[in-house]
Amino acid sequence: MATLELAGLAKSFGALAVLHGVDLALADGEMVVIVGASGCGKSTLLRLVAGLEEPSAGSVVLDGRDVTRLDPAARDIAMVFQNYALYPHMSVFENMAYGLRIRRLGRADIRRRVDQAARMLGIEGLLDRKPRQLSGGQRQRVAMGRAIVREPKLFLFDEPLSNLDARLRVQMRAEIRRLQRRLGVTSLYVTHDQVEAMTLGDRLVVMHEGRPAQVASPLEVFSRPANTYVAGFIGAPAMNFLPARLADAGRAAVLKAGPVIAFADGPRAGRDGRALIIGIRPEDVTVLPEGAAQGLRLAVDLVEPLGSETLLHGRLPGGAAFTVQRAGMVRVGEEMTVGFSPASLHVFEAETGRRLEPVSLAPPARVESSAAMHGSR
């Protein structure tokens, strides 16, 4: 159990800059999830922490000790790999015991630790099997077992669930969370799956092109995304974005699609006419009765019935794509009028994509997200 601090951690492969300086601090026992699209540098960040790659700049401090130049084995970190990376010629027991044997633990100690971890993971019966005799879920457990028996200061997970089928993934997700809570080991978890990220993390790091776009709690990231990238990435179906301009001395926005919307939470800074992007989540959109004075006309071109809800995709008068989520199965015509409460709006600056908070309001949570924003453009 330990704290982890990354300061200005950067990595380039030749001319290709993959990470542009990541600052991050993990509290003792905290589980932080790094989420981002494929290729944004998540694995690279994890491998820098593990010591499998040398950073181009910056430092890794584990439990108050600078480990930046240390060998992976000397860092007291355990990692769970996406493809499990079990040793194919060793039994499950040997797989879990290998790291301990190298650390010259006594036989009895090794036996005890492996047995304990195996019981925790429900793989006691598999200890004599070879990896190829195991199912995907079982291999996953063994890979976790191999990390657990080491009793490390830090766990690293690199998309550990992405090779499992959907049902098993949900089950293992809950299990990893329970296990991490129970063991209380500080953890860094990488995934491209936002559901995994939302459910597992005490905090999220949303990565975008080698920079953290936002570092905050899952709820904060969802309800107050720091920029349009985060807003579009987190939440399914993705947030709708509508071009607009600031109006009425910062108290309202004029949508390109027509209507004027007064901000519910206070005025935004800037001169009238400043280009904005208004974000609205599909689940916050309501369908208004036919002939309502307010609202936007939506020409529906695709209906996706998902069982518990229905997604309606279409276009607004300005031509912007727009998605509406409605509960249950609904029948719809070709056209409808939709509206939303001004309280559910997200306001972004068009030029930078940055979130615009009301000027009078300076919520305390802003500090963290603006610190993350500092790393971004």
Ligand X SMILES: Nc1ncnc2c1ncn2[C@@H]1O[C@H](COP(=O)(O)OP(=O)(O)O)[C@@H](O)[C@H]1O
Kindly tell me which of 105 and 300 has the beta carbon lying closer to other proteins.
105
Q: Which stretch binds other proteins (CB under 8 A): 6-14, 77-85, 196-204, 312-320?
A: 77-85
Q: What is the 3-state secondary structure (H, E, C) of the chain?
A: CCCEEEEEEEEEECCEEEEEEEEEEECCCCEEEEEECCCCCHHHHHHHHHCCCCCCEEEEEECCEECCCCCHHHHCEEEECCCCCCCCCCCHHHHHHHHHHHCCCCHHHHHHHHHHHHHHHCCHHHCCCCHHHCCHHHHHHHHHHHHHHCCCCEEEEECCCCCCCHHHHHHHHHHHHHHHHHHCCEEEEEECCHHHHHHHCCEEEEEECCEEEEEECHHHHHHCCCEHHHHHHCCCCCCEEEEEEEECCCCEEEECCCCEEECCCCCCCCCCCCEEEEEECHHHEEEECCCCCCCEEEEEEEEEECCCEEEEEEECCCCCEEEEEEECCCCCCCEEEEEECHHHCEEEECCCCEECCCCCCCCCCHHHHHHHHHHCC
- Residue 120 sits in the site that holds other proteins (CB under 8 A): no
Kindly tell me which of 14 and 319 has the beta carbon lying closer to ligand X.
14
39 binds, among Mg ion, other proteins, ligand X, none (CB under 5 to 8 A by kind): ligand X
- Residue 296 sits in the site that holds other proteins (CB under 8 A): no
44 binds, among ligand X, Mg ion, other proteins, none (CB under 5 to 8 A by kind): ligand X
Kindly tell me which of 39 and 342 has the beta carbon lying closer to Mg ion.
39
Kindly tell me which of 191 and 240 has the beta carbon lying closer to ligand X.
191
Chain residues that interact with ligand X, rule: CB under 6 A: 13, 16, 18, 36, 38-44
Of the candidate residues 65, 89, 178, 181, the single one contacting other proteins (CB under 8 A): 89
Q: Which stretch binds other proteins (CB under 8 A): 82-90, 159-167, 168-176, 262-270?
A: 82-90
Of the candidate residues 15, 16, 64, 102, the single one contacting other proteins (CB under 8 A): 102
Kindly tell me which of 151 and 193 has the beta carbon lying closer to ligand X.
193
Name the minimum Å distance from CB 233 to ligand X.
13
- Residue 43 sits in the site that holds Mg ion (CB under 5 A): yes
Size of the site for other proteins (CB under 8 A): 25
Of the candidate residues 83, 116, 135, 352, the single one contacting other proteins (CB under 8 A): 83
Q: Which residues bind other proteins (CB under 8 A)?
A: 47, 50, 52, 71-73, 77-79, 81-89, 98-99, 102-103, 132, 146, 150
Q: Which residues bind Mg ion (CB under 5 A)?
A: 43
